[in-house]
């Protein structure tokens, strides 16, 4: 009994994430979440005073996961194949927390905290994209001027952030094929790649298509 009660906050957050993703955060109330879990609204309020506290918890979870991936540490990918895998992981995190991207304007308007943290995440993505491209350029696998690299990093950030929204608008009732998103991002870098990196990308793309 005590163990079950201890797990309630986690179950609330998990249930909220599932419902937010399915129906959109603005359409899910705390009452709906409590009802879905077969607990009383009072029990839910004991753990979270309002829906915004649940949203903030989920946003912090998302931020931690995406930051951990972007930081790369000592496993910095340098080959086209590693980047393909890295992008897959990034899209999987965005897919897991897709309600954030779908309702981003509403969330930005409502929460100054989410506004500043989302900006920080976009800046971190762009910085990582630039670092990856610079790494490829340093090894001779990529050839572009600094202006071209900067514009490429912005487009990589934009496409990784909004491809799922784009795909959702095109096919709202179909789960997305994340590989297609990765392919679109790789297509941004493809024309700048040289030598074996380009051939490897063409091979991967060919296998994919």
Kindly state the smallest distance separating residue 46's Cβ from a copy of itself, in Å.
29
209 binds a copy of itself (CB under 8 A): yes
Nearest-angstrom CA–CA distance, 22 and 3: 29
Nearest-angstrom CA–CA distance, 107 and 58: 12
- Candidates 12-20, 58-66, 77-85, 148-156: pick the segment binding a copy of itself (CB under 8 A): 148-156
Classify 193 as helix, strand or coil: strand
Nearest-angstrom CA–CA distance, 72 and 86: 9
Q: Which residue matches tokens 């490897």?
A: 200
Cα–Cα distances (Å) from 21 to 30, 119, 133, in that order, read: 15, 21, 32
113 binds a copy of itself (CB under 8 A): no
Q: Residue 204 in contact with residue 80, Cβ under 8 Å?
A: yes
How many residues bind a copy of itself (CB under 8 A)? The answer is 43
Kindly state the smallest distance separating residue 40's Cβ from a copy of itself, in Å.
29
Query: Which position among 41, 140, 146, 191 is part of the footprint of a copy of itself (CB under 8 A)?
Result: 191
Between residue 71 and residue 110, which ones bind a copy of itself under the rule CB under 8 A?
Answer: 102-106, 108-109
- Candidates 37-45, 47-55, 79-87, 182-190: pick the segment binding a copy of itself (CB under 8 A): 182-190
CB closer to a copy of itself, 10 vs 67: 67
Residue 47, CA atoms < 13 Å, CB-side half-sphere: 19
Beta bridge partners of 180: none
190 binds a copy of itself (CB under 8 A): yes
Nearest-angstrom CA–CA distance, 7 and 194: 52
Q: In the complex, which residues of this chain contact a copy of itself (CB under 8 A)?
A: 23-24, 26-27, 102-106, 108-109, 115, 118-119, 122, 144, 147-148, 151-152, 154-155, 157-159, 161-163, 165-166, 168-170, 172, 183-184, 187-188, 190-192, 205, 209
């Amino acid at each position: 009994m005590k163990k079950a009660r201890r797990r309630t906050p986690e179950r609330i957050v998990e249930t909220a994430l599932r419902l937010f993703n399915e129906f959109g955060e603005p359409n899910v109330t705390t009452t709906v979440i409590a009802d879905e879990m077969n607990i009383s609204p009072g029990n839910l309020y004991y753990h979270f005073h309002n829906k915004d506290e649940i949203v903030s918890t989920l946003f912090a979870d998302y931020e931690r996961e995406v930051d951990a991936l972007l930081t790369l540490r000592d496993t910095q990918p340098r080959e086209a194949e590693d980047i393909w895998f890295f992008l897959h992981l990034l899209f999987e995190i965005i897919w897991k927390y897709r309600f954030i991207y779908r309702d981003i304007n509403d969330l930005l308007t409502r929460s100054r905290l989410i506004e500043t943290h989302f900006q920080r995440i976009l800046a971190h993505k762009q910085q990582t994209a630039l670092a990856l491209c610079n790494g490829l350029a340093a090894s001779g696998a990529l050839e572009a001027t600094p202006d071209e690299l900067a514009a490429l990093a912005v487009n990589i950030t934009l496409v990784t952030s909004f491809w799922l929204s784009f795909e959702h608008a095109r096919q709202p009732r179909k789960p997305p094929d994340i590989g297609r998103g990765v392919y679109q991002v790789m297509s941004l870098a493809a024309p700048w790649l040289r030598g074996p990196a380009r051939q490897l990308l063409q091979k991967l793309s060919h296998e994919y298509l």
